[in-house]
Chains A and B, each alone.
Chain A
Amino acid sequence: AQSVSQHNHHVILSEAASLELGCNYSYGGTVNLFWYVQYPGQHLQLLLKYFSGDPLVKGIKGFEAEFIKSKFSFNLRKPSVQWSDTAEYFCAVNAGGGGNKLTFGTGTQLKVEL
């Protein structure tokens, strides 16, 4: 069974700092990869996804993620964070071959300070 690891559980940054959140998965076959975000008091929203093609994926609000197959990683990045990026971020993987079940990581709580 696949699993997802998010190494940073809590991250605190100042506005304009650069962000990188780690995500590693364990599955040897074809995968689809996702980042979801949950803003305070809101439901989970899709930030970006990868399922084929260019391994550098661009999402909403200036976020991007890079799929590195050799490292089983899909790290999330943003060059300059804003206070409004304060949220919890979840990495998820769907193993290829059928079905659309997602396995989520435990999440990273990001706090951006003014």
Chain B
Amino acid sequence: GAGVSQTPSNKVTEKGKYVELRCDPISGHTALYWYRQSLGQGPEFLIYFQGTGAADDSGLPNDRFFAVRPEGSVSTLKIQRTERGDSAVYLCASSFSFQGAGYTFGSGTRLTVV
């Protein structure tokens, strides 16, 4: 597509529930990134895919967070047993894979855990 698409745009869930956030990157971008942005903060790195594999998952806060990209295109960020502290805007971005390539960001998914 023309841009990075993220669905849903908003998600409200109860504490303890499981959620999935979807990202559809720009066609031809082999690199895909997930970031989390809390109020008043800059985006915080979570995980980066090169193709189907997670090249760097050092930003995932704990084992409740998991992400997949099975066919090297669409990615899903999965959060188990959600906590109120998980409330944030989850951003997806994609890029070409050369060093210094700028990202194209999606509009994000605003997750609220109540």
- Interface set of A (CB-CB < 8 Å, partner B): 4, 32, 34, 36, 42-46, 49, 51, 90, 92, 94, 96, 98-107
Contact = CB atoms under 8 A, between A and B. Distances in A.
22 contacts: A4-B42, A43-B106, A45-B105, A49-B100, A51-B99, A90-B42, A90-B43, A92-B42, A94-B99, A99-B48, A99-B56, A100-B48, A100-B99, A100-B100, A101-B33, A101-B48, A101-B56, A102-B33, A102-B103, A104-B35, A104-B44, A107-B42
Given A32-B99, A96-B99, A98-B99, A104 B107 contact: no
Contacts of B105: 36, 43-45
A102 B45 contact: yes
B85 interface: no
B95 interface: yes
- Give chain B's interface residue range (CB within 8 Å of chain A): 20 to 34
Given A99-B56, A100-B95, A101-B33, A49 B102 contact: yes
A84 B105 CA distance: 21
A59 to B, nearest CB: 11
B41 A106 contact: yes
A100 B104 CA distance: 13
